[in-house]
Amino acid sequence: MRVNNTMWSEVLVTVVMGTLVYWVFRRTRRKVLKTEDGWWGAGAPPVGGDDDSIRPFTISHSQEEMEDLYRRLDATRPVSSLEDSQFHYGMNSQCLAKVVSYWRRDYDWRRQVDKINQYPHYKTTIEGIDVHYVHVKPQSLPVGAHTVPIVLVHGWPGSFYEFYGLIPLLTAAVAPGNTDGPHLEVICPSLPGYGFSGAPHKKGFNSVCAARVFNKLMSRLGFQQYYAHGGDWGGLVTTNMAQLEPEAVKGLHINFAPSTSPSVAMVTSLMLGRRFPSLFGFTPFDLQRLFPLTETLLLEPVRESGYMHIQATKPDTVGRGLNDSPVGLAAYILEKFSTWTDKSFKNLEDGGLTRKFSLDDLLTNVMIYWTSGCIVSSMRFYKENFSELGAPHTKVPVYVPTGVACFPNELMHAPRLWVKQKYHNLRSYSPMARGGHFAAMEEPGLMAEDLLAFISMTEKKK
């Protein structure tokens, strides 16, 4: 009887220990985001699959294209802004009239096309979509040096052109603070449906699909491992890239941290963080950006998110109007480059548009949307993503080394505590001195410095 009791005790201990080990394993096992290949081209996929060739691509222009643009600019019907309204009602009409006048008489699209074409452009077909990308390598490397690939992903209403001030700083053989490397090789794609990438022909193309396509792009280019950087939608797409292929993405750097599902820590920090900031690691920078909550979490998002509701529900309706009117398109896009750069710019008659950007660069971004006719397909990306709230990728942590550049005028602020809820291997969190939503275009020097520091640190640790 005593033997039986001993035996049963051992069995019980074994079961308990086994259950405990299984529970710990389940808790610590790293989740990987799962996805399946798609086909986004028109009709059924071809029998042989995608044409995986890499094709050189050149941005072009024509006299007919410019004559059509000028005719539409000349035919615009002016609308007067309210007195003393600045940018509080959206794009100020007096400011818009000056932009249109410059666009019609002084802006040189041909010269800007030459600037865009200074870097090599390519296209390749992935899942039925012709993916456009810029591929830039360092011009000269020290003997024995090797390049580290990085993919830069933009958002809306931006384009690959956002990174044109950043690319030379990253690919310089000796960049500021980069005398010992790493030497970066930049791949800068257009999101499908944006710029010169083809648009999906079928419903359902969301950020995870874009991430899968870009991981395939990097693999097709021969990269087994690479870094990824993004802002706006690019922050979500590159996050998804790391969730899908954690062994391929060596490190993730973002300046827009996609929010996670609200956690107990996040909610508690909002309730008590202002009174007990040190308890949650809140800095004066965090307190200034988070409080008062009525303003930061309610009023300001309501003021700035009207476009989002439209694009997440009925993008094709308003998109058709913007696709026909270059003035309407410019007003819709440029207004974001005002208030998203600095919300105080809404108090200025000119929206502060040229305080951080040149009018040539702003109009070049608009022209990429206009000449490619991509405004409708770019807006659909909102509907595809907001149709799947609570999707699996929102619940999967990111385990790859992560760096966050936190710019003070970003639309939404994410303190370190919140970022770590999703990004479990947070290597750097940098409150930046200045800059807003379009940080890579607005402050390329600051962005390059933080990105190079993150990659250098990650490479040394590896």
The answer to whether the CB of 342 falls within 8 A of the CB of 409 is yes
> What length is written for the chain?
462
Structure tokens belonging to residue 48? 């042989």
Distance of CA 345 to the CA centre of its chain: 23
Which is it for strands 249-254 and 121-126: parallel, antiparallel or unpaired? unpaired
Distance, CA of 186 to CA of 154 (rounded, Å): 13
Q: Which two tokens stand for residue 355?
A: 């305080």
Got the DSSP string for 239-258? HHHHHH-TTTEEEEEESS--
Torsions phi, psi of 90, nearest 5? 110, -155
| DSSP 8-state secondary structure symbol assigned to residue 231 | S
Query: What is the rounded distance in angstroms from the CA atom of residue 193 to the CA atom of residue 170?
Result: 26
Contacts of 333 (CB under 8 A, 6+ apart): 157, 365, 366, 369
On whether the CB atoms of residues 185 and 137 are closer than 8 A, the answer is yes
Asked about 232 being catalytic, the answer comes back as yes
End-to-end CA distance of the chain: 58
Q: How far is CA 236 from the centre of its chain?
A: 6
Is 226 known to be catalytic?
A: no
Residues forming beta bridges with residue 254, ordered by sequence position: 230, 404
Of the residues 121, 183, 226, 232, only one is catalytic, namely 232
253 catalytic residue (yes or no): no
- Whole-number Å distance between alpha carbons of 441 and 259: 23
- Tell me the one-letter amino acid at 345: F
Instruction: Render the burial of 294-329: b for 16+ CB within 10 Å, e for the rest.
Output: eebeeeeeeebeebeebbbeebeebbeebbebbbbb
User: Residue 278 and residue 200: Cα distance in Å, rounded?
Assistant: 47
Pairing mode of beta strands 226-230, 147-153: parallel
Choose, from 119, 226, 227, 382, the residue flagged as catalytic: 382
Pair of tokens at residue 103: 């666009």
Note whether 419 and 428 are within 8 A (CB).
no
Element (H, E) at 283: none
- Rounded Cα distance between 151 and 432, Å, is 22
Active site members: 232, 382, 437
